[in-house]
């Protein structure tokens, strides 16, 4: 089992004055975050995403079962559609989880773009998954 704690701050500008900041401060502890779709690719478990408290902050945590090395679980912020998006994420790998990233232009687990940081390989890569 591995644990990945994410603290996501999403700023999406539909119009220059209309900015949405998405944190997990209003989400229920122990439950999946509101407005997120949960999915997985290549035999990973899509469940296991919950909001937890870390210090004074609330973070999104994935506590999934052990999955193949090339598999992935994703939490997709699906509440809104945007033209221009600026995304910032902080993550903390705990236990066996050593990879995290961001996904955009998501259509399904096998059709999207992603940027992945692999701490074990000390590598940042951008992928187009089709």
pLDDT tens-digit series, residues 95-116:
666 778 888 888 887 888 888 8
Q: How many Å apart are CA 23 and CA 27, to the nearest integer?
A: 9
DSSP 22: E
Decide: 36 and 21 in contact? Cβ < 8 Å.
Answer: no
Chain centre distance of CA 20: 17
Asked which of 4-8, 58-62, 65-69, 73-77 is least confident by mean pLDDT, the reply is 4-8
pTM of this structure = 0.70
Q: Is the pLDDT of residue 44 over 80?
A: no
Position with higher pLDDT, 121 vs 3: 121
- Helix (H, G, I), strand (E, B), or coil: what is residue 63? coil
The size of the chain, in residues, is 130
Structure token digits, residue 76: 């997709």
Band the pLDDT of 83: cuts 50, 70, 90: confident
- Helix (H, G, I), strand (E, B), or coil: what is residue 66? coil
In this prediction, residues 79-88 reach a mean pLDDT of 72
Q: How many Å apart are CA 9 and CA 23, to the nearest integer?
A: 5
């Amino acid at each position: 089992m591995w644990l990945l704690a994410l603290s996501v701050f999403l700023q999406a500008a539909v119009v220059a004055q209309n900015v949405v900041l998405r944190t997990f401060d209003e989400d229920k502890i122990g439950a999946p975050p509101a407005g997120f779709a949960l999915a997985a690719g290549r035999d990973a478990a899509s469940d296991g995403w919950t909001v937890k408290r870390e210090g004074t902050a609330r973070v999104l945590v994935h506590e999934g079962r052990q999955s193949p090395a090339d598999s992935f679980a994703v939490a997709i912020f699906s509440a809104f559609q945007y033209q221009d998006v600026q995304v910032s994420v902080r993550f903390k790998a705990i236990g066996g989880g050593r990879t995290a990233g961001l996904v955009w232009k998501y259509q399904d687990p096998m059709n999207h773009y992603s940027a992945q940081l692999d701490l074990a390989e000390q590598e940042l890569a951008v992928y187009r998954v089709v």
